[in-house]
Structure 1
């Protein structure tokens, strides 16, 4: 072997042994995303503050609900879940209004939803009523939590491929509202068999509905920017007044009826029409 060939082989070996250089931004742990700007890929560093701050607040509300339930303060736990629902509805809208959507935000929002609308409602119901049922109680709780996880995973994979007018399966925030509304509405009641069975039905039922193929109206087709009759504003005021009179009962009733509307609609559409 000539000296020249040995030199070339040694240089190749040296190059193979050298670690590949990485982007210093990635090495520092910074979030880096690629976006298309006028058809050209542009790398963006960091995350958007406002929508992700709202997502963090939603996550905290879910965490607070779990802590409150563990300490036996069930009304605060239920209210925290509803607060999380409001924040979850705001973060996406704020991101679209300010043109600050990002892949990081989508993933972070999904993880926050799993805590706020999956783990938190299940544990709140468990600490409140289902823990007295032993293994059956935590099995019902797990059905709900697993249903929420599967529902969120399916939703993430179906973005852009289904009709926006409908949800496939009960949305996790609506399921969480049913469970939180139940706890908020009956948290002062003494433990009883009928209340425990009602909790089993609501928690287990919403868990199953989340992974079902039943269609639910999403109401995303409503035009909130267009002009409406003056009577519509009066109707909104009336609804707010009714909710303020007894928020626990009204919210539980509304979301329970919404959860039942899916199976009722599927049953009605499945019946053959008379000629």
Structure 2
């Protein structure tokens, strides 16, 4: 019998490639001093990245190739791109401190993605272990977008950018739980009011996208610490690791 040739599923990988293009576009725009468009590129990549996995699950086209492609795309769009944009916009004015902050963010992005890949089977699906890289990228890019729209130069807020980059980067590699929204079922019917609320949300975002989007991700970027502190205060287990029998060195994460 003739052996069937192996291939890849085109639909989910098209979304992944489009997200990768968003990150690449953001870097190119930053090189041309169009930091507002660079930030928009990162946000577009974030939207497309949120769709590829859902499309794969809904069409039953998940694959190991798609998972690896998604991780590589995320590293470019949410790891390297925000670090380079932040450096070009403000951090290079700080000398060695600037590139150190940019590198810390980029390195933490890589570590976050690597840990996510190996901990997929042991983490509570309702939560992310640490700030997800798209949300971290949204904090960095959102701050740049907001300042650019306000006419504030990067040199004027370079130390603020320094701390934003460090906060976003280091929060990615913490054990703080951030709600993943993965238990939201797209196939199930919802009350009519939910659609009305979604429409209102879109309308609010369109009032002033830089302000609204940055505010939303600031709230999300702080929400994990609120959940962590609440669990600690209640004496509950704060880690999102559920079981870790194959990785004994991670036993301390259950505390």
Task: Give me the TM-score of the superposition, normalised by structure 2.
Answer: 0.86
Inter-partner Cα distance in structure 2 for 1:210 and 1:43: 42
Q: C-alpha deviations, 1:203-232, integer Å up to 9, x for none?
A: 110100000010111111123333333222
Mapping for residues 228-247 of structure 1, pairs under 5 Å: 228-247=190-209
- Structure 1, gaps ≥5 residues long: 1-41
Secondary structure of the equivalent of 2:184?
coil
Secondary structure of the equivalent of 1:216?
strand
Mapping for residues 11-90 of structure 1, pairs under 5 Å: 45-90=6-51
Q: Which has the higher contact order (CA 8 A, sep 6+)?
A: 2
Q: CA deviation at 1:86?
A: 1.2
Inter-partner Cα distance in structure 2 for 1:272 and 1:106: 37
Mapping for residues 164-175 of structure 1, pairs under 5 Å: 164-175=125-136
Q: Contact conserved, 2:90 with 2:155, CA < 8 A, in 1?
A: no
Count of paired positions? 232
Secondary structure of the equivalent of 1:153?
helix
More strand per residue: 1
Distance 1:218 1:116, change over 3 A: same
Q: Is 1:99 matched with 2:60?
A: yes
Distance 1:170 1:44, change over 3 A: farther
Secondary structure of the equivalent of 1:187?
helix
Q: Is 1:260 matched with 2:222?
A: yes
Inter-partner Cα distance in structure 1 for 2:178 and 2:153: 33
Distance 1:47 1:266, change over 3 A: same
Q: CA deviation at 1:161?
A: 1.6
Bigger Cα displacement from structure 2, 122-131 vs 222-231: 222-231
Inter-partner Cα distance in structure 2 for 1:106 and 1:258: 25
TM-align CA RMSD: 1.7
Q: C-alpha deviations, 1:33-63, integer Å up to 9, x for none?
A: xxxxxxxxx9751211121122111111101
Q: Contact conserved, 2:42 with 2:77, CA < 8 A, in 1?
A: yes
Q: C-alpha deviations, 1:59-81, integer Å up to 9, x for none?
A: 11101100100110001000000
Inter-partner Cα distance in structure 1 for 2:72 and 2:231: 35
Secondary structure of the equivalent of 2:124?
coil
- Structure 2, gaps ≥5 residues long: 236-255
Distance 1:162 1:192, change over 3 A: closer
User: In the alignment, what sits opposite 1:202?
Assistant: 164
Bigger Cα displacement from structure 2, 43-52 vs 121-130: 43-52
Secondary structure of the equivalent of 2:178?
strand
Q: Look at both structures and tell me which one has the larger radius of gyration over its CA atoms.
A: 1
Q: CA deviation at 1:120?
A: 0.4
Inter-partner Cα distance in structure 2 for 1:255 and 1:76: 19
Q: C-alpha deviations, 1:173-230, integer Å up to 9, x for none?
A: 0101111111111114333776222211211101000000101111111233333332
